[in-house]
Amino acid sequence: GTGATSAGRGDGGPAPRRAAIAARTLRTDRWWLQPLLTVVALVAFVAYSSFRAFQNAHYFSEPYISPFYSPCLTTGCEGDTFPELFTGPSWISPAIYILVVPLGFRLTCYYYRKAYYRSFWLSPPACAVAEPHRRYTGETRLPLLGQNAHRYFFYLGLLFNVVLTYDAVLAFRDETGAWGHMGLGTLVLLANAALLWLYSLSCHSCRHVVGGRLNSFSRHPLRYRAWTLVSRLNGRHMQFAWISLFGVALADLYVLLLATGTIADPRFF
């Protein structure tokens, strides 16, 4: 195109230099498949995790606690893996008090932002596919301005990782509190904690915290080495985001099945 004609736009906003193509996209592959799968997976996770968070039951089976309910802060908690800090009304699930941290962390995550901007907002749905919106303001206004809070959710998420690792360590005790126990549930909680650490350590904010704003790497050899490691993990952040999301749901499901007596925990020691 030679000028700012609106005819060539797929209504994706001002794009004076875009070629005058009337079609929304010239892509002939199944570009819609990835956003569709993203919607299906995220909706499934949100539905399952909401159901479980509000259920307020079957989240503890000695010595395992579901990651959705940890840290369990109220006196109404099943089991006692974490110091109970306050008494809340018993109809409020202990999961509700802590939900904001993992939810805020994932919602403001750079990868998930890309995923849901594309799949839910269609902004744009895929590369070289025009978006339906006429205006584009990026993340410069509320509420999207709040995405800047990601680094703080990152720090809070680290605290949660410590707690969930602690839960996995406690799962090496048996029902009587004696050490030296190991069941499948112990491995499930360990794997879940490890995946959450990988998700956090591969975070873009983590990479910035570790190696950002340094003018000279040679004067900070330790941070340079840490930054190199985090950068390598960072390249797989999307994979860690998905695996840890499924991991946390499966860990919860495992505890649910134990707590309801549906299955028994295979025991190795």
Binding site for ligand FES (CB under 6 A): 109-111, 150, 154, 203-205, 237
Closest CA to 39 of 93, 113, 127, 116: 116
Nearer to ligand FES by C-beta: 109 or 256?
Answer: 109
Distance CA 108, CA 102 (A): 10
Shortest Cβ 153–ligand FES spacing (Å): 8
Nearer to ligand FES by C-beta: 64 or 116?
Answer: 116
Nearer to ligand FES by C-beta: 68 or 154?
Answer: 154
Distance CA 45, CA 228 (A): 32
Nearer to ligand FES by C-beta: 61 or 108?
Answer: 108
Nearer to ligand FES by C-beta: 102 or 185?
Answer: 102
Residue in this structure with the two tokens 């010239």, named with its chain if needed: 26
Distance CA 103, CA 244 (A): 13
Shortest Cβ 203–ligand FES spacing (Å): 3
Task: State the CB neighbour count (10 A cutoff) for residue 181.
Answer: 19
Nearer to ligand FES by C-beta: 113 or 223?
Answer: 113
Shortest Cβ 240–ligand FES spacing (Å): 8
Task: Report in angstroms the alpha-carbon separations of 17 from 13, 63, 137, 169.
Answer: 12, 62, 19, 58
Nearer to ligand FES by C-beta: 59 or 197?
Answer: 197
Task: Report in angstroms the alpha-carbon separations of 155 from 13, 151, 158, 212.
Answer: 36, 7, 5, 16
Shortest Cβ 136–ligand FES spacing (Å): 22
Distance CA 258, CA 25 (A): 50
Shortest Cβ 67–ligand FES spacing (Å): 16
Shortest Cβ 237–ligand FES spacing (Å): 6
Shortest Cβ 112–ligand FES spacing (Å): 7
Distance CA 71, CA 191 (A): 17
Shortest Cβ 16–ligand FES spacing (Å): 33
Nearer to ligand FES by C-beta: 39 or 238?
Answer: 238
